[in-house]
Amino acid sequence: MAWYDEAVFYHIYPLGLCGAPKENKYDGVTHRLEKLTPWIDHIKEIGCNAIYIGPLFESVGHGYETTDYKKLDGRLGDNADLTRFVAKCHEQGIRVILDGVFNHTGRDFFAFKDIQQNRENSRYRDWYCNVNFWGNTEYNDGFSYDNWGGYNLLVKLNQRNPEVKNYICDVIRFWVSEFDIDGIRLDAADVLDFDFMRDLRNVANEVKPDFWLMGEVIHGDYSRWANDSTLHSVTNYNLHKALYSGHNDHNYFEIAHTVKRLNGMIGHLKLYNFVDNHDVERIYTKLNKKAHFTPVHILLYTLPGIPSIYYGSEFAIEGRKEKWSDDSLRPALNLEDYKDAVEKNSATALIAALGRVHAATPALSYGDYNELLLMNRQYAFSRNHNGRCVIITVNNDDNDFDMNLPAGGTEEYVGALFGERVRVENGRINVKVKANSGEIWIPRTSDMADKITANVAPLKAAGDLNITGTKADAAEAQAARAEANVAQAGGADTQAQAAQTAAQTQANTAGDTAQSSQSNAAGAATQNGQTNTADAAAPNGQAAQAGAQNAEAQPESKGTYEDGVIAGLQQAIIAIMEKNGPVTDQMRRDVLNNVYHDSLITWIKSFR
């Protein structure tokens, strides 16, 4: 057993989180990495015991076009800043792994600069793949070369060159001696040379006990990269996709089949599991039903593998991938804006509770996997370790669901998240799984049960894991998201205004509560265009809180606010359709007959 077998990772993209400039002008050092110091306590508070941070080293822009492997990017600070950061993490019992961008360098890297200057006479001409002095690039280099992803900004290293191998191995030794890191995430591992990775594994075994190598791999047979001679683990993009689409499509079969296929592929090794990262949209954005945030994360923490949380997603922030930029996925955040989130933000409370449960439950790190129940909308499995049987139940339906499941040899089970106790009768338990939720059932006779149940109260205080908050909060967030989505769909102020007016008019018929809440949320969402979407939609958005307070101060009269929201969304869709052309009676009936919020939101998005 190694430290990473029980790890729960917190993933940081430092240039984004610290608010560094997009372009490095190489004009000095700004000590922005110090901004991460308060985050260490937060990371520990939500139950993470490892950090994956990167890219960190001197580069031109986004960090993956390395200029100097041995110098912290001047936009973040100097090497002493990184040394202090790692030491502070270690003081809190948190391991640290860095991004190793060894497939390619930037054009400002010393070896490439030498080729530019000396051309055929450069001693580094063989450091890169297929350097051709008869070719050219858009930079008018007077030669061409292989790159990564079609970007000549990223020059592909020749990993079969012994000098390159030795150089990178020395870089790893330097990182350990200088910063005392605990492992490396290998960028673009799916295109790294396999002999090169075997050399890196030998260095890992040399520099530090349990030094961890994890590779970025998208598709393919993961066992080609993760095995006893190359890497310890790889990114689990297969499960990432299954977790969000399995909920969006109400298809737990996709998730369960993915897990079984991966278990057969990878054997005893643990994959690096995640629901979002710096390259993909935020999970809160990807989910059609925001309440599915709960069962998605219960599965993230309980299925075989090593769970990871991407910074900010524990607050349920939004982040949509854009065509030419990933900036919205990598925002600067001020931790002070999320003060007391564990007590006040239901999403954060969930993540913190799952972290505690994971730490106190060895079966979630080492247990085998046994499927107990599988339906489109309900799923149950067990993790068994040292005679202890932990049972996980999830439900993606809008209604509660009763499950009758086989249980281990104990008299009673306790729910680790909500604290309910159930008796074992004839070797089985009967449990009610809440709508769009789930539970982790722990044997009551185990010594870990008391530790876990002592931490149940914060979840209940945070709204019983109602991720969209109270009904007033949820309605506010729905209205704000509707207005922002309409604005994005049409791209015109008049269209957004028409949709907003229609939604508000319908909401007025639902009573004073609807009117007050609608105007607050819609104004917050549309005042500055779509930049306020996340703030209005997030569980703790100020607009939602303001609307909820106003709603509490006024009695409901003619109907429910939810009815007003649905009617407003319907009228918003009709308004957009009318701008695009004639609307027939049948088209209008099709819209008015659709009374499902998430379906209407998807319909609005389809107009983009």
User: Is residue 50 a contact partner of residue 7, using CB atoms and an 8 Å limit?
Assistant: yes
* Residue 461 in tokens: 């205080």
Angle at the Cα of 389 from the Cα atoms of 7 and 233, rounded to 5 degrees: 30
Q: Looking at residue 357, what is its pLDDT?
A: 96
CA 560 to chain centre: 34
Counting every residue written for the chain, the total comes to 608
| Helical pair 237-248 and 252-266, crossing angle rounded to 10 deg | 170
Cα atoms found within 13 Å of the Cα of residue 546, Cβ hemisphere only: 16
User: Is residue 242 a contact partner of residue 255, using CB atoms and an 8 Å limit?
Assistant: yes
Residues 6+ apart with CB under 8 A from 421: 412, 413, 414, 415, 444
The beta strand positions in 17-103, using DSSP E, are 50-53, 57-59, 66-72, 95-100
In the chain, DSSP finds a helix count (H) and a strand count (E) of 23, 21
Three-class SS of residue 367? coil
Q: Looking at residue 264, what is its pLDDT?
A: 93
Q: Looking at residue 451, what is its pLDDT?
A: 64
Q: Looking at residue 507, what is its pLDDT?
A: 40
CA-nearest of 31, 20, 43 to 310 is 43
Q: Looking at residue 269, what is its pLDDT?
A: 94
Residues 6+ apart with CB under 8 A from 356: 47, 452, 455
Q: Indicate the pairing of strand 151-156 with strand 183-186.
A: unpaired
H or E segment and range at residue 432: strand 428-433
Instruction: Pick out the chain residues at pLDDT < 70.
Output: 446-562, 579-584, 586-587, 596, 598-599, 602-603, 605-608
* Residue 30 in tokens: 């700004």
User: Is residue 561 a contact partner of residue 567, using CB atoms and an 8 Å limit?
Assistant: no
User: Is residue 547 a contact partner of residue 472, using CB atoms and an 8 Å limit?
Assistant: yes
% of the chain surpassing 70 pLDDT: 78
H or E segment and range at residue 369: strand 368-374
Q: Looking at residue 567, what is its pLDDT?
A: 85
pLDDT digits (tens, 9 = 90+) for 548-605: 333 333 333 345 656 778 888 888 888 887 766 666 676 677 778 777 676 677 667 6
